[in-house]
Structure 1
């Protein structure tokens, strides 16, 4: 049976769309989730971090499994896991239940996302058609993040927070039914090394989870407490074991030799800091808009829209400017804009107008975040061999997710500490929340400053149109 490649693209893009959607759709539901399930202020961030850490930690293993088992098989498995976890998340009646479901969602996304990209690359021949397909893929993924906050607001206000998870289920059921019709089965690496580096994925993810947990618990317990010290030490030991496993593995998740490339190392750090700033801003601002300013979930989502629009325009501009000005120049400009946007947002009070105090910061930050992302992705693969470009892209994508989770933990912990101290000194609750919000965004702005300094060490490149297309798909 002849399958239309564009029908295949539609199935793949919709699957990737809901994976990206789930990063942002949950943010506007956080206040309702917190109230309904009695989340503490410091544990609420795990609704986001459980997803991003498992997604980032197992992304490379998902790509490896797709190579060995066949991308369609792994794609279906990841999609079913994602849909089942979405159903469980919507049925959750405790914080622990929801956090566990979000972790499984992240694992499902880590399996289906690289498998979908692998199917796309074998479906379209190298050249113009693949470039168009990659552009559609990258564009729809970005659109998922932008529409997520509005869709989340609509679902929360008209139904309940549970529906930000339930909405995935019928989409997944429909996609699973369409896959045999529109996606052909393929096998890769049939005669090659069929080893899975499962140990590496488990050790790396467990180590990161331990470190993040220690950071989160430092606020109520203190850095010198036995619990915090134990988890920090455990995290360091697990991450050291991860490095040892990667050095000895015949098929490592992260080929450590890639980090001999200055371009890859610097880009990985820049994208991790970019993720830290983005997730922190989204988390804090979604809560601020609803708990301080009194927005409904839908109003909060609509208030985020200009930032999403600016990010889409920023991606297009960055793609054009890197060919004229070079990657380092554009990335430096993006980092400066990210800092300026976060600094503006951090000045907003409880009663300041949206148009005068929040909107400029949203738009500037939206331009900046993609001003770092596009050239960062291009630079990351510039010095690696062509056959390792996929591995390099996987590494920087994972670093973005991991950096976001670690950054969110740091920012949230410092924000909660500031709010708690303000309440203890007799400051009214609304103002104490504002104080915490402002502190958190200033810390996020610090990540942008670090990105400015790191970008200065990045090489200056003049990418081709093909490199731009590949970067858009990997972003």
Structure 2
């Protein structure tokens, strides 16, 4: 439910824009309000789960998510929608690290743990694409408001089942251990400032105050966060956490992966509805091949990890997904669905899905009972920050390129298509770059990725 709602708004964005009066740059906040709150608070959420209990934080997060969904579904003005989306993102920051932390600890057998984490990674991708399918069906047959209201019965089922099926789990901590609230605050505000500045760059010059002031303020706050972490007695994320090269490189390249993935779904949806004139229902159903391809890729990637190792699987997945985006960038104003959209979608989905299980396993390389939710929070933070940067930077560049083309006399559909194609090519380049970095910097880890972890978990 939580992962699905990161993208469920994509197909409904044009209807939300018309219904609530969003500007085009402001519309991106319907996506970024969610990913910014989640990205800024996920590490704190992970630490809260380690401190106070992972099951408890999961239940609290689901409850908050349901309430925020009601606010978004009942929105009558842009600010109300953005508030609801920020609330949903904050709820993910509580629930997602707790959930993934529980999975990492419940499966102590190496093979079973690899499968469980592979399923988690696959669900992330399927949620991102099924969100568009569900959004299209509900938006066209009922109302865009139901993409939020449908979360309520799902949340009730979760709140009923989790206490009955999952035992509590928390870290063993000293009496003087405290939470780094200042670090979380500076991280969140810094990310908001940076992305706000990038959003303004879509329709303002890069040297304008509306772009530079928030960018500089955000960068300063992020530097303050680093200083706080260096001096803090109980930092939000101990810098020693990044001493593991495999974990660090995978978390860093996750920024590239999610920037390309989310901007792809965001821009292709707009292309289909604004250039090809697809209905929300048709646009939503059009994502089914991507869901199937991701599912197939997930199964393939999970099966290949024991044979080829983490590095080979995740690197090949990134590079292959980049090729899929380059193929998608060849679309034109009169492209057909099967000839212009589906080939790139299938290639992208198959390879992106194959990379997910390997990347999730690598991101939790060497975690123990003391820091499983923290490690999960770091990985989820990279996913959300990458999502925010993808929409802010790639979509902004696409909008700017289209605006310049219109100013030069190009027809609006042609200009929009050229802008989206540019965004796809940049996303493809980021994916390939991520694959090359993984191939060059990640250690050769296969079973050795899992065995020490399993021993530590069993001992813990």
TM-score, normalised by the number of residues in structure 1: 0.87
Which of 79, 96, 99 is equivalent to 2:79?
A: 96
Which of 388, 396, 403 is equivalent to 1:420?
A: 403
Q: Does 1:245 align with 2:228?
A: yes
Partner residue, 2:349: 366
Partner residue, 1:402: 385
The one-character-per-residue Cα deviations of 1:62-111 (angstroms, maximum 9, x if unpaired) are: 12112222233322221121111100001112222211210110001110
CA contact (8 A) 2:122 2:356 kept: no
Partner residue, 1:307: 290
Q: Does 1:455 align with 2:447?
A: no
Output the CA distance in 2 between the equivalents of 1:129 and 1:456: 26
After superposition, the Cα gap between the structure-2 partners of 1:354 and 1:43, relative to the gap in structure 1 and judged at 3 Å, is same
Secondary structure of 1:44's counterpart equals helix
Partner residue, 1:441: 424
CA contact (8 A) 1:268 1:395 kept: yes
After superposition, the Cα gap between the structure-2 partners of 1:51 and 1:440, relative to the gap in structure 1 and judged at 3 Å, is same
Partner residue, 2:263: 280
Structure 1 range deviating more: 117-126 or 397-406: 117-126
After superposition, the Cα gap between the structure-2 partners of 1:129 and 1:456, relative to the gap in structure 1 and judged at 3 Å, is closer
Output the CA distance in 2 between the equivalents of 1:246 and 1:182: 37
Output the CA distance in 2 between the equivalents of 1:146 and 1:279: 10
After superposition, the Cα gap between the structure-2 partners of 1:192 and 1:376, relative to the gap in structure 1 and judged at 3 Å, is farther
Which of 7, 11, 23 is equivalent to 1:40?
A: 23
Partner residue, 2:47: 64
Secondary structure of 1:252's counterpart equals coil
Structure 1 range deviating more: 414-423 or 182-191: 182-191
Output the CA distance in 1 between the equivalents of 2:431 and 2:108: 39
After superposition, the Cα gap between the structure-2 partners of 1:463 and 1:345, relative to the gap in structure 1 and judged at 3 Å, is same
The one-character-per-residue Cα deviations of 1:384-424 (angstroms, maximum 9, x if unpaired) are: 77855553343233112212211221111111111111222
Output the CA distance in 2 between the equivalents of 1:190 and 1:129: 28
CA contact (8 A) 1:321 1:330 kept: yes
CA contact (8 A) 1:25 1:148 kept: yes
CA contact (8 A) 2:249 2:442 kept: no
Structure 1 range deviating more: 357-366 or 169-178: 169-178
CA contact (8 A) 2:328 2:344 kept: yes
After superposition, the Cα gap between the structure-2 partners of 1:34 and 1:127, relative to the gap in structure 1 and judged at 3 Å, is same
Q: Greater relative contact order (Cα 8 A, min sep 6): structure 1 or 2?
A: 2
Deviation at 1:263, TM superposition (A): 2.1
> Which residues of 2 match residues 203-214 of structure 1 at below 5 A?
203-214=186-197
Output the CA distance in 2 between the equivalents of 1:226 and 1:331: 41
Structure 1 range deviating more: 126-135 or 51-60: 126-135
CA contact (8 A) 2:72 2:85 kept: yes
Q: Does 1:79 align with 2:59?
A: no
Output the CA distance in 1 between the equivalents of 2:248 and 2:168: 35
Output the CA distance in 2 between the equivalents of 1:452 and 1:135: 19
Which of 299, 308, 316 is equivalent to 1:316?
A: 299
Partner residue, 1:223: 206
Output the CA distance in 1 between the equivalents of 2:425 and 2:169: 49
CA contact (8 A) 1:27 1:282 kept: yes
Partner residue, 1:4: none
CA contact (8 A) 2:180 2:235 kept: yes
Secondary structure of 1:43's counterpart equals helix
The one-character-per-residue Cα deviations of 1:263-301 (angstroms, maximum 9, x if unpaired) are: 233212211100110011010001111111111212112
Partner residue, 2:457: none
Secondary structure of 2:422's counterpart equals helix
Q: Which runs of 5+ in 2 are unaligned?
A: 455-460
The one-character-per-residue Cα deviations of 1:333-387 (angstroms, maximum 9, x if unpaired) are: 2222122111111111121111111111001111222343333333344467785
Q: Does 1:160 align with 2:146?
A: no
CA contact (8 A) 1:261 1:384 kept: no
Partner residue, 1:106: 89
Structure 1 range deviating more: 431-440 or 201-210: 431-440
Q: Which runs of 5+ in 1 are unaligned?
A: 1-17
CA contact (8 A) 1:264 1:392 kept: no
Partner residue, 2:130: 147
TM-score, normalised by the number of residues in structure 2: 0.90
CA-based RMSD: 2.7
Structure 1 range deviating more: 253-262 or 416-425: 253-262
After superposition, the Cα gap between the structure-2 partners of 1:141 and 1:331, relative to the gap in structure 1 and judged at 3 Å, is closer
CA contact (8 A) 2:364 2:375 kept: yes
Output the CA distance in 1 between the equivalents of 2:410 and 2:275: 14
Q: Does 1:349 align with 2:340?
A: no
